[in-house]
Amino acid sequence: IWLPLAVFAIIVYGTFSLTSVYPVTPMQWLFTLFNIQGLNYTYWKFDLFYAVPGCGHFWFVTTLAFCYLLTPLMQKFKDVSVSGWRKALLVVGVLVAQLGLLFLGFQPYYILTFFFGYFLSGKVRTDGKWYCFVTVLTVLSLSVRLLARKYADSSMIYNRYITLISQAVIAVWIFSTVYFLKEKLPKLFNALDCKAVHFTEHISFYFYLVHYIFLDSPIAMFNYFENR
- What are the pLDDT digits (tens) for 99-110? 888 888 888 888
Q: What span, in angstroms and rounded, lies between the C-alpha atoms of 140 and 132?
A: 12
Note the pLDDT of residue 49: 87
**Sign of CA pseudo-dihedral 202, 206, 208, 212:** negative
- The whole-angstrom separation of Cα 15 and Cα 58 is 17
Looking at residue 145, what is its pLDDT? 94
* Residue 121 or residue 131, greater confidence: 131
Helix (H, G, I), strand (E, B) or coil at 12: helix
Which pLDDT belongs to residue 38? Answer: 92
Tell me the average pLDDT across 131-159: 92
pLDDT reported for residue 34: 95
- Give the mean model confidence (pLDDT) for residues 32-56: 90
